[in-house]
Amino acid sequence: MTNFIGGNHLKLLRNGAEYFPALEAAIQHARHEIYLETYIYQEDVIGRRIGNALKKAAHRGVKVYLLLDGFGSQDFSITFLQGFQLAGVNVMFYRQKISPWTFKKNRLRRLHRKVVVIDGKVGFVGGINIIDDNNVPEEASPRVDYAVEIRGALLAPLLDSVQKLWKHLAWLQLRKVSQQYASAKTKLDSKYKEVKAALVLRDNVLHRRDIEEAYLEAIANAKEEIIIANSYFVPGWRFRKALIDAADRGVSVKLLLQGRIEYLVMLATHAFYSTFLAHGIEIYEYRKSFMHSKVAVIDQEWATVGSSNIDPFSLLLAREANVMVRDHFFAEELRASVLQSIQDGAIEISPQAWVRGNLKHRIFSWIVYGVLRIVLGVIGRAEDWRK
C-alpha cells in the first residue's frame, strides 16, 4: 500500500518553460548542496544554462553532485565534462558501459529518474530531462512533459534516496565520498498540511514493483475516471487487465499516448489497441509534437507525476521516481492540462477505423511485441511481464 504523508506543498510544472526557470532559481539560491540526477543531459542551450548555474553554485562553495546515466547521456562530451569538473562540480555516470553487443540485463538497467534536491529545502521530481523542449525534429512543436516542485515532508525520503544512491555508486567506483549536509527541512505553514503525497521509487532490489503496484492500487479503487498520459505504453498483463476491469465496471478510461514513433518498440503499444477499444477504453494519440509525459489522474483525487513509463524497461529494469498525490486541487490542475493536450494536439482512435483500416499495421505491431517478449526472455524477465 502506498505510504502517503501530509505536510507538503506541491507545484505542478508544465514543460521546460516552467520547470527550467524554477530549477535555475532554486540552484541560484542554494547554499549548501545540490543533487541532480537525470537520464539525458544535452549540451544545448538548456544544458549550458543549467550547467552555468551549477558551476556558479560550486564556485561559491556549494557541494554539487551531478549523476548522469551512461546511456542516456552518452553524448556528454569530454570538453563539457571537464568544464564541470574544473568548476568543482562532482560528476558521476551510472553504468557507463553501453556495448550494443550484449543483452545482459545489467546493460539495460538505467538511471531513468529525474530528481533534484537542493539544501534539503526544495526538490523536483518528474519526467523532464536536461534538454531543450525545442530540441525536436523539424516541424514539431515543443516537447510535452511535466515535473513537480516539492517542499515539505516528502523532501526527507527524497534527500535520503539521492544521498544513498550517490554514496553507493561512489563506493562502487572507488571514489571519495565527502561529508553530507544536514537532513531535509520539513517545517511548513499549516495551510499545506492537508496535501498528502508519496515518493514511490523503483530499483532492482527492495522496490522492484512499487510504482506498478501503486498504479494498480489506484486503478482498482477508481470509481469514475482514469486518465493516463504516457509516452512509452507497453503494459504487462496485470496492468492491461486492471484497465479493462475498470472500464467493464463503468469507469471512464482515457489513454493519451505518443502518436509520433521515435523507436520501433513503440509499435508494440498498438498490439493492445483492439482489445482496449473493444472494452470502451478511449485512446488518443498526440501528434502535434513528442509527448514525453508520464502522468495519470484518477477520480480527480489521485495523481502521479514522474519518470516511469508503463513499459517493461521502466517497470522491470530502470531506476525510476514518481510522486503520487492525494489532493483534489493538484489532481484537477493536472487533469485540465492533459485534457487540454488532447484537445490541442491529439486525435482519437475510433474502434471502427482501427479494425477496418490497419490490418497490416496490427499484424506488424504483434510481431514487434513478440520480439520484445523474446528480448525480455533473453534477459530473464519475460515471466515477470506476463504476470
CA trace torsion 26, 29, 32, 36 (10° rounding): 20
> Which positions are catalytic?
112, 114, 119, 292, 294, 299
- Compute CA distances 309 → 4, 181, 255, 319, whole Å: 21, 32, 13, 11
Which domains, and CATH codes, for the chain? Answer: 8-173 (3.30.870.10), 197-386 (3.30.870.10)
pLDDT reading at 357 higher than 80: no
User: How much is the pLDDT for 308?
Assistant: 97
For residues 315-344, average pLDDT? 96
Residues 235-259: tens digit of each pLDDT = 999 999 999 999 999 999 999 999 8
CB 103 within 8 A of CB 378: yes
pTM > 0.85:
yes
pLDDT: which is higher, 265 or 35: 35
User: How much is the pLDDT for 1?
Assistant: 82
CA 346 to CA 339: how far, in whole Å? 10
Residues in a beta bridge with 66: 36, 91
User: How much is the pLDDT for 277?
Assistant: 96
For residues 154-168, average pLDDT? 96
User: How much is the pLDDT for 287?
Assistant: 92
| Residue 271: how many other CB atoms lie within 10 Å | 19
User: How much is the pLDDT for 52?
Assistant: 98
Cell triple for residue 364? 506488424
